[in-house]
């Protein structure tokens, strides 16, 4: 159950507003939301509101502290208030599905939704995290078509990455996970990908270090989508030996805080040319949602400058 929030309007520091706001936040403003709990740490409003302002679009993005209990009413409100849509995050990514009218293919395969689009009362669920990961690679000239990928993880970030890569022409995805509460999801992801796409997916135990090392050596792309590298595991990496990597591969870490993870340092030592943190994925998943709501490309270079 979400905490009761004081709904008094508090004083805050408003940066970048040097005069009266006109033509924005008026009677025509269209609302987009984010429904999650907890929510106060999110960077999404900064991203979307700056994109609206930069492009001169009369939209506003606001956060709503919504847990599973409040979810049905919140989804009703999307229709009632004629909102353009909403992002959805934990704990609502799976729970929201029964309240929607349609799901795109990626959401069906992930069994999760992070973006809702309201087309005149018809609510469609999308999952843009995997697309965000792919777009961030594409932006730097990298692609997954025909590639062999070793992917560590099977949680909320890894699942849409695996599904999107498989739908976007990856040749092979080898999913490594610990024998923990996400192992079952790893098995499910592999089954779904093999059933629904031409990509060959296999599931492996992360505890088998030799298998993991061999797989990375044979891969074009290594992606770590586990919690390792992020607080409180920021001093750890699943690969600590640079000799496991080869120069021409892509090494991608989904972590964006810190901006340079231990994994990235190891990849750098190995001379890997294409190394990415998760900031591109984070911005591009937002850009993919923004495109669904507005039909416009988010000015991502400008947004990245603001976020850095
Ligand atoms: P999750 O809890 O859904 O999944 C966690 C995954 O990490 C599971 O596969 C679990 O088995 C694995 N894991 C946990 N501890 C581990 C350990 N000690 N060793 C090996 N594996 C371990 O979490 P999530 O939402 O999928 O987040 C995973 C990572 O992705 C986090 O680092 C998060 O920062 C990042 N993330 C990035 C973005 C982005 O836009 N860049 C978005 C979401 C998540």
Q: Which of 227, 282, 300 to mutate to test the pocket of ligand 1 (most atoms within 8 A of CB)?
A: 227
The reply to whether 93 belongs to the active site is yes
What are the tens digits of pLDDT across the range 11-55?
888 887 778 877 788 999 999 999 999 998 899 999 999 999 999
State pTM to two decimals: 0.96
Ligand 1: which atom is nearest the Cα of residue 177? 11
Cβ-based neighbours of 133, under 8 Å, separated by 6 or more = 160, 161, 164, 223, 252, 254, 281, 284, 285
Question: Tokens for 190?
Answer: 């592999």
Question: Tokens for 165?
Answer: 């890569």
Please tell me the distance between residue 81's alpha carbon and the centre of ligand 1 in angstroms: 34
| Cβ(209)–Cβ(180) below 8 Å | no
Query: Can you give the pLDDT at residue 9?
Result: 85
Ligand 1: which atom is nearest the Cα of residue 257? 34
Query: Can you give the pLDDT at residue 4?
Result: 61
Whether the predicted pLDDT of 193 surpasses 90: yes
Cβ-based neighbours of 255, under 8 Å, separated by 6 or more = 224, 229, 230, 261, 277, 278
What are the tens digits of pLDDT across the range 212-250?
999 999 999 999 999 999 999 999 999 999 999 999 999
Query: Can you give the pLDDT at residue 36?
Result: 97
What are the tens digits of pLDDT across the range 144-160?
999 999 999 999 999 99
**Which residue's CA lies nearest to atom 6 of ligand 1?**
226
User: How many other CB atoms are there within 10 angstroms of residue 235's CB atom?
Assistant: 10
Q: Which of 70, 93, 291, 296 is catalytic?
A: 93
- Rounded CA gap, 272 and 249, in Å? 6
Whether the predicted pLDDT of 142 surpasses 90: yes
Query: Can you give the pLDDT at residue 14?
Result: 80
Arithmetic mean of pLDDT over the chain: 95
pLDDT band for position 3 (50/70/90)? low
């Amino acid at each position: 159950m979400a905490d009761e929030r004081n709904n008094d309007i508090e004083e805050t520091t408003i940066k970048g507003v040097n005069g009266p706001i006109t033509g924005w936040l008026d009677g025509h403003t269209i609302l987009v939301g984010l429904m999650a709990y907890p929510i106060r740490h999110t960077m999404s409003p900064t991203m979307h509101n700056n994109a609206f302002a930069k492009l001169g679009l009369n939209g506003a993005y606001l956060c709503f502290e919504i847990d599973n209990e409040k979810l049905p009413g919140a989804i009703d409100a999307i229709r009632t208030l004629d909102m353009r849509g909403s992002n959805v995050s934990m704990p609502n990514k799976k729970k929201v599905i029964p309240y929607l009218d349609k799901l795109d293919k990626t959401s069906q395969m992930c069994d999760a939704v992070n973006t809702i689009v309201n087309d005149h009362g018809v609510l469609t669920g999308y999952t843009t995290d995997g697309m965000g990961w792919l777009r961030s690679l594409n932006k730097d000239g990298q692609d997954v078509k025909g590639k062999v990928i070793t992917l560590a993880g099977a949680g909320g970030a890894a699942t849409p990455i695996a599904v999107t890569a498989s739908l976007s022409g990856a040749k092979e995805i080898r999913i490594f996970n610990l024998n923990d509460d996400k192992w079952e999801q790893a098995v499910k992801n592999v089954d779904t990908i093999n059933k629904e796409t031409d990509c060959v997916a296999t599931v492996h135990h992360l505890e088998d270090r030799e298998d993991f090392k061999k797989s990375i050596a044979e891969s074009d792309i290594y992606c770590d989508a586990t919690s390792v590298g992020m607080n409180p595991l920021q001093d750890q990496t699943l690969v600590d030996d640079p000799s496991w990597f080869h120069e021409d591969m892509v090494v991608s870490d989904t972590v964006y805080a810190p901006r340079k993870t231990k994994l990235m340092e190891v990849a750098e030592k190995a001379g890997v040319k294409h190394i990415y943190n998760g900031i591109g994925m984070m911005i591009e998943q937002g850009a993919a949602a923004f495109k669904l709501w507005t039909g416009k490309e988010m000015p991502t270079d400008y947004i990245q400058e603001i976020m850095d």
